[in-house]
Structure 1
């Protein structure tokens, strides 16, 4: 039976509106996993492929051309095919050429945390850093910039958001403990406001950041959920204590990716704004589409992105995460933009890209579902092109090498500034 964690007295926390049990058979339980993402997206894809959709047509003959483009992108970026995981950690390495810096390595060296004897505390600090950073990673908008104080480089989009959130963390912006800046405490997160984010992210009238209030709200809710979930985050609640929970549930030093994702979906589910609620349980990044089972399509994009982003601190501490391809591709504007630009899916409305769209519009839900299915097809062909097996080159590496980079590459060729092929109105909590 899948349940929310208990409090220190052994009682499930469900009366406060944040957490509620999700017993076996509860209609929400089946949607809180990667398998549901894949199967519900497959149903929508079958609907489109059959010609029944009024929104898109489906062109699987384009998969090989996309895979060739992705494979060539991987060979350009990683000639030895040693591709890291697609995760937030890549954005902590941002910069250009000789100025490219691994901020995390520098931070660990300065804090004297680099040795193997510190690996568990290093994992806790890595979790403290990466969870808020992922929550702050929704699309920044085309006008926002971040000037890196260390290098004076001007960074945009995900790299800029990564550097800004990293710098905020390193300054103790998430810590409630004087003299101990490298931590993320519930007490401090609950006090984060839009002004705090605006200052740290260099927001100004000439430098607007999309979804400022939404980002601050996510961090405040994160702090509240942490306080309500001592089984995961301890008392006083700290994000890094999640490492100890995961270590305790590892078998022979191994964790299944599905278990990791389920833990995050159940434990952090109440962080996300309440959109669709089923019998008291918020479904998070889940949307309506008539062709999906039950009329619902879960994506869990940011939670899966977070799952990918926890792999490195957990592995650094000696835990191995298995079954990575149980996770899905991330349906956002780089991966989905790549497939759209290569016309794997083609909108029936010729004016589709002329106006911005809301996240909950059926056409956006359908595009995201097609993206999840399309990424699986492309990944298989990419592995064939590179002569690699799935175990050697899991989806987490295909995405990084990969489809996300290829999406950015084709966007730069087709549109000034590398803008996405169409605009989605964001509140800072989905993309």
Structure 2
């Protein structure tokens, strides 16, 4: 019997290109079948979208930089300022929760964080106060600021109605 993957291995896999491709293929197949619940795909316009994205890349990057364009993901937003906050969060759970629970918690965090990011605009900011590691306040805007704000709220248990399971999003408690 193969042992269950560790939390680190599971997270590494979920961050990997094969994992993203597998999930994207599943969504694409459902779209082709017309089985998406919340939106439809206009397949006739996909070529136009691809051309638009390529034009943005060419506008913003030199040809030599194209292979090194970093992926734009919520997980990278949590790591703004070169701090691996997700690793720190997982370390805080070590020995208290198993791999599956860690993955559940991370999915809760990422989903609520992305949903809160929708439509916040470009004026919203989040200030990270000084602590024993960071000596000065820093202000973050846009997706990075929203990621850090949602992470702080998640760590405080603001998305959970259960004080014994504060690191979850259960939809029963308002974050405000």
Query: Which TM class, normalised by the smaller chain length?
Result: 0.5 to 0.7
1:8-407 matches, within 5 Å, as 30=34, 32=36, 36-42=40-46, 66-69=56-59, 72=62, 75=65, 78=68, 83-84=70-71, 86-95=72-81, 100-112=82-94, 118-149=98-129, 151=134, 152-188=137-173, 192=174, 196=176
How far 1:140 moved relative to its partner? 2.4
Please state whether the residue corresponding to 2:34 is helix, strand or coil: helix
Q: Give the TM-score normalised by the residue count of structure 2.
A: 0.61
The two structures have a TM-score, normalised by structure 1, of 0.27
Partner of 1:239: none
Question: What is the Cα-based RMSD across aligned positions, in Å?
Answer: 3.7
| Structure number, greater radius of gyration | 1
Greater relative CO, 1 or 2 (CA 8 Å, sep 6+) = 1
Segments of structure 2 that go 5 or more residues without pairing to the other structure are: 1-32
Deviations 1:190-232 (A, max 9, x none): xx16xx1xxxxxxxxxxxxxxxxxxxxxxxxxxxxxxxxxxxx
Pick closer, same or farther for the CA change 1:127–1:74 going to 2, 3 Å: farther
Shift of 1:146: 0.7
Q: Work out the CA distance in 2 between the residues paired with 1:145 and 1:174.
A: 20
**Partner-residue secondary structure (3-state), 2:172:** helix
Partner of 1:334: none
What's the CA shift string for 1:248-295, capped at 9, x where partnerless? xxxxxxxxxxxxxxxxxxxxxxxxxxxxxxxxxxxxxxxxxxxxxxxx
Aligned length, in residue pairs: 137
What SS does the corresponding residue of 2:98 show, helix, strand or coil? helix
The change in CA–CA distance for 1:159 and 1:113 in structure 2 (over 3 A counts) is: farther
| Consecutive unaligned residues in structure 1, runs of 5 or more | 1-28, 46-59, 197-431
